[in-house]
């Protein structure tokens, strides 16, 4: 809309933007404040403390880093999330390439099947998944969790990648094929490098599904404490009777802040990768 807006419309725009910015940032800000508060209190009874850093201490961070098993949890999460990312990338890009480029019987059916499978509530399949993992000898191991996560990312990532491959002109690959390039080579040498934005999205979502997930992680790797992942580990802290909220908030910040930073850095790619890909009609 091209016209110069009236002053009143301008003010309304900024008012809405500022109101929603506060709405968007306050919960994170609150958690940051809580992570620097002394003692076990979550609330400061002093109302200013709810909005401004009137007191600040790094004690909670120190305790979380050196006394609690947080570092171990973070390492576990990092391991699971990274391997999930790699597995998810390998599997979904190749399937998406096939769905996008080849015409074969059952193609349409396969695509719809993928979407339909996703509608079965994941929590309810959990018992069966745990049993399958037990049968494979992978229950209570990180590898089992990686398998479960990877399959959980299959649907969205395959669809998204397929959508992106669809937007890449096929001419280049055809030219390569005339030069004697097989489908596998043209996939690896031509299609993959062109699909970089979508790869970034797939990787990020794969990573986050391992990094922040709660239910599968808490059921499939319930114990011991050293094997837990970061989110269930922290949540188990919060389930305690006298919850050390300061610790909890500090730990939460150490998990959330890196995520937010990565997201902000990849924002442009995210938008590009998502827009060209699956969610678009």
Partner 1 sequence: MISWSRRRKFLTVLLFVAPTLIGILLFNIFPITLSTYTSFTNRNKFHPNPDCDVGLTGVLDPLCWPAFRENAPKGLAEPYRLQDPLIGNYQGVIGTLFTGEALGALLQIGICFVPLIAASVVNRRFAKMASPPVSPSVVWLGALVLGLVIAFALNVGEAFGALESSGDFFVVVFRTILFVVARVPLTFLIGLTLALILNSQYLRGRTFFRVALFVPWAASSLAILMALVWQFFFRERGVLNQVLQLVGLDPFAWLSNGATAFGAIVATDIWFSYPFFMLAILGALQSIPGDTYEAAEVDGASYWQQLRKITLPLIRPAILPAVVLTSISAFQMFGTAWAITRGGPVVSAGQPGATEFVIVYAYKQIFSSQNYGRASAFAVILFIFLFAVTLYSLRLTRITKGAYE
Give the Cα separation of 73 and 70 in Å (integer): 5
User: Least distance in Å: CB of 73 to partner 1?
Assistant: 13
Among positions 151, 185, 236, 269, the unique one binding partner 1 when judged by CB under 8 A = 151
Q: Please name which of 219, 204, 192, 188 lies closest in space to residue 156, comparing C-alpha atoms.
A: 204
The one segment of 52-60, 66-74, 194-202, 259-267 that binds partner 1 by CB under 8 A? 259-267
- State yes or no: residue 189 binds partner 1 (CB under 8 A): no
Residues 6 or more apart in contact with residue 207 via CB below 8 angstroms: 81, 82, 84, 85
**75 vs 101, which CB is nearer to partner 1?**
101
**59 vs 166, which CB is nearer to partner 1?**
166
Asked whether the beta carbons of 159 and 276 are under 8 A apart, the reply is no
- State yes or no: residue 58 binds partner 1 (CB under 8 A): no
User: Least distance in Å: CB of 27 to partner 1?
Assistant: 5
Give the Cα separation of 73 and 128 in Å (integer): 26
Using alpha carbons, list the distances in angstroms from residue 16 to 7, 12, 23, 26, 95.
Answer: 14, 6, 10, 15, 43
User: Least distance in Å: CB of 240 to partner 1?
Assistant: 13
Neighbour tally for 251: CB within 10 Å:
27
Residues 6 or more apart in contact with residue 259 via CB below 8 angstroms: 208, 211, 212
Cβ-in-10-Å burial (0-12, 13-18, 19+) of 43 comes to exposed
- Tracing tokens 């990180």 back to the chain, one arrives at 142
User: Least distance in Å: CB of 31 to partner 1?
Assistant: 5
The contact mask relative to partner 1 for 79-118 (x = CB under 8 A, - = no) is: -----------xxx-xx-xxxxxxxx---x-xxxxxxxx-
Among positions 60, 76, 85, 158, the unique one binding partner 1 when judged by CB under 8 A = 158
- State yes or no: residue 242 binds partner 1 (CB under 8 A): no
Among positions 50, 78, 86, 188, the unique one binding partner 1 when judged by CB under 8 A = 50
The one segment of 21-29, 56-64, 191-199, 220-228 that binds partner 1 by CB under 8 A? 21-29
- State yes or no: residue 8 binds partner 1 (CB under 8 A): no
**67 vs 179, which CB is nearer to partner 1?**
179
Size of the site for partner 1 (CB under 8 A): 106
């Amino acid at each position: 809309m091209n016209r110069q807006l009236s002053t009143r419309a301008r003010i309304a725009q900024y008012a809405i933007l500022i109101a929603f910015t506060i709405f968007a940032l306050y919960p994170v800000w609150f958690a940051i404040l809580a992570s620097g508060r002394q003692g076990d209190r979550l609330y400061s009874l002093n109302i200013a403390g709810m909005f401004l850093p009137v007191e600040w201490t790094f004690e909670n961070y120190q305790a979380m880093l050196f006394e609690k098993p947080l570092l171990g949890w973070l390492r576990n999460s990092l391991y699971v999330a990274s391997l999930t990312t790699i597995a998810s990338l390998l599997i979904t890009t190749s399937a998406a390439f096939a769905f996008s480029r080849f015409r074969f019987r059952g193609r349409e059916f396969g695509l719809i099947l993928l979407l339909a499978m996703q509608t079965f509530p994941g929590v309810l399949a959990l018992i069966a998944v745990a049993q399958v993992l037990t049968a494979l000898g992978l229950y209570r191991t990180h590898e089992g969790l990686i398998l479960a996560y990877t399959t959980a990312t299959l649907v969205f990532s395959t669809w998204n990648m397929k959508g992106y491959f669809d937007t890449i002109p096929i001419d280049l690959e055809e030219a390569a094929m005339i030069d004697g390039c097989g489908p596998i080579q043209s996939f690896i040498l031509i299609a993959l490098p062109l699909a970089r934005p979508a790869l970034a999205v797939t990787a990020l979502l794969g990573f986050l599904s391992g990094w922040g997930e709660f239910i599968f992680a808490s059921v499939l790797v319930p114990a011991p404490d050293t094997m837990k992942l970061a989110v269930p580990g922290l949540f188990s802290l919060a389930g305690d009777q006298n919850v050390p909220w300061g610790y909890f908030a500090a730990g939460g910040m150490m998990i959330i802040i890196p995520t937010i930073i990565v997201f902000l850095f990849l924002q442009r790619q995210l938008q590009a990768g998502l827009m060209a890909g699956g969610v678009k009609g």
